């Protein structure tokens, strides 16, 4: 009994050749249904084995899979094998036939078709199809498959399509509990068994169940925290479970964190399950070695442009509060009515900005008027009007960053002249 409980749900599913099924949001908001099965591990091959050849030789046939995996997909350097599924398919199957050394992957892998009332839980990149009665953590993202019969949409809900299905997405929060009751089958936010948070590597998502990719040998620190009044024993169980591989974490008191420290393997993957003893509660931790130079670079968009772009006569100038060019003069030959088309804001929506429009001394608005906005696009559309009223310059201050200015010149010589 204890041994059965100790075996993680992941391992049980893999023994039963079940495909784990996920929904993920792609850039642009499109939803994607995908399946995951394990790749091979270096340990399962003998020293002399030609891994590439063995994988090359295996045969794979599929049903309901949009981009079927190849033998190479199962190489131990891959953390797992994921493949897009056709949401409308009535059968999902990946049949793998190959050498005995591929024992952990050969067989007929399958999972149920998508149906109304299916629930996927996780984060917006990776939410796993969950059975009913699963306990859900506040802050997790929920995707509920519906047959399109959704009455109302609250602010925090969004409706997506996945094939022919309508998918309702919302975060699990205290104020969305009623949605969980309505669409979340028996999902419960109370009495969540325990948290297993990935503290190190620092850049790893703390709660998502996707593989943690980090350089070989780097430190991994997991904080395991039981529910407030509980002080159970936790253990770290390897996946697949092997004799002698279980590590017990000492209790530290009700609701207190226990720490588990380990390292990313030198190559390939290491999967462990944090298990609350005498329960069926498990949390998968999947560590995968990736050489530092192969790590995903930070999104370049973190360095995104911020400022105003001025487009005129095939020239484009970026006025940036932190850049080299912070002011520009637009010659008076430019028709004021065309200014809104020339000037664009680049940067995140909702930033605090202050616009200061300057006027000549004899103007009723002299010397200037100032207005604050978080919606600069609508103020930019008024710029032509201000210039027609005699505005000589506009300063735009980006809260806490700096400012740029646009002067409206008297002379008709050049175009945009930074």
Name the site residues for another protein (rule: CB under 8 A).
27-28, 124-125, 139, 171, 173, 195, 197-200, 202-203, 205-207, 219, 221, 223, 225, 231, 250-261, 296, 298-299, 301-306, 320-324, 346-352, 367, 374, 397, 399-403
Which pair of tokens denotes residue 116? Answer: 């109304």
Instruction: Give CA–CA dist 185/95, Å, rounded.
Output: 31
**Buried residues in 117-132 as b, exposed as e (16+ CB within 10 A):** ebbbbbbeebbbbbee
Q: How far is the CB of 7 from another protein (least distance, A)?
A: 25
Quick one: which of 201, 227, 202, 286 has its CA closest to 20?
A: 286
* Buried/exposed 344-357: b ≥16 CB within 10 Å, e otherwise: bbebeeebebebbb
Cβ nearer to another protein, comparing 26 with 100? 26
Q: How far is the CB of 351 from another protein (least distance, A)?
A: 6
3-state secondary structure of 182: helix
- What's the Cα-to-Cα distance from 58 to each of 96, 199, 265, rounded to whole Å? 7, 39, 26
**Residue 185 or 200: which CB sits closer to another protein?**
200
Instruction: Compute the least distance from the CB of residue 261 to another protein, in Å.
Output: 4
Query: What token pair was written down for 168?
Result: 């309702």
- Compare residues 57 and 352 and give the one whose CB is closer to another protein: 352
Tell me the closest approach of the beta carbon of residue 301 to another protein, in angstroms: 5
Cβ closest to another protein, residue 114 vs residue 310: 310
Give the nearest distance from C-beta 270 to another protein in angstroms.
17
Strand pairing category for 165-171 and 158-162? antiparallel
- What string of DSSP letters covers 390-416? T--EEEEEETTTEEEEEEE-S--S-S-
Minimum distance, C-beta of residue 348 to another protein, in the bound complex (Å):
4
């Amino acid at each position: 009994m204890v041994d059965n409980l100790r075996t993680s749900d992941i391992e049980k599913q893999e023994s039963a050749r079940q495909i784990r099924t996920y929904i993920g949001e792609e850039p642009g908001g499109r939803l994607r249904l995908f399946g995951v099965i394990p790749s091979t591990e270096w340990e399962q091959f003998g020293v002399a084995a030609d891994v590439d050849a063995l994988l090359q030789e295996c045969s794979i046939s599929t049903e309901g899979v949009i981009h079927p995996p190849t033998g190479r997909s199962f190489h131990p350097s891959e953390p797992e094998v994921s493949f897009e599924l056709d949401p409308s398919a009535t059968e999902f199957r990946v049949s793998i036939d190959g050498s005995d050394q591929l024992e952990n992957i050969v067989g007929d892998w399958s999972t149920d078709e998508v149906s109304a009332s299916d629930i996927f839980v996780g984060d917006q990149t990776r939410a796993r199809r969950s059975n009913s009665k699963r306990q859900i953590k506040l802050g997790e993202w929920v995707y509920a498959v519906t047959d399109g019969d959704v009455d109302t949409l609250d602010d925090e809900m969004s409706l997506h399509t996945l094939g022919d299905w309508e998918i309702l997405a919302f975060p699990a929060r205290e104020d969305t509990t009623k949605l969980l009751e309505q669409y979340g089958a028996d999902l419960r936010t109370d009495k969540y068994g325990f948290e297993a948070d990935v503290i190190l590597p620092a850049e790893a998502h703390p709660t998502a169940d996707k593989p943690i990719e980090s350089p070989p040998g780097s430190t991994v620190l997991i904080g395991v925290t039981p529910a407030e009044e509980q002080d159970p024993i936790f253990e770290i169980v390897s996946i697949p479970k092997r004799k002698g591989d279980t590590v017990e974490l000492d209790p530290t008191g009700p609701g207190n964190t226990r720490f588990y420290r380990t390292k990313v393997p030198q190559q390939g993957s290491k999967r462990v399950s944090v298990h609350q003893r005498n329960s069926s509660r498990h949390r998968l931790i999947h560590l995968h070695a990736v050489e530092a130079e192969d790590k995903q670079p930070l999104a370049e968009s973190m360095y995104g442009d911020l400022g105003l772009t001025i487009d005129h006569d095939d020239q484009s100038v970026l006025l940036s509060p932190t850049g080299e060019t912070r002011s520009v003069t637009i010659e008076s030959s430019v028709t004021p009515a065309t200014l809104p088309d020339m000037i664009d804001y680049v940067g995140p929506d909702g930033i605090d900005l202050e616009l200061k429009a300057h006027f000549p001394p004899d103007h009723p608005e002299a010397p200037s008027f100032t207005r604050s906005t978080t919606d600069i696009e609508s103020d930019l559309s008024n710029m032509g009007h201000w210039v027609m009223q005699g505005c000589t310059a506009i300063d735009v201050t980006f809260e806490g960053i700096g400012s740029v200015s646009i002067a409206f010149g008297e002379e008709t010589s050049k175009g945009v002249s930074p």
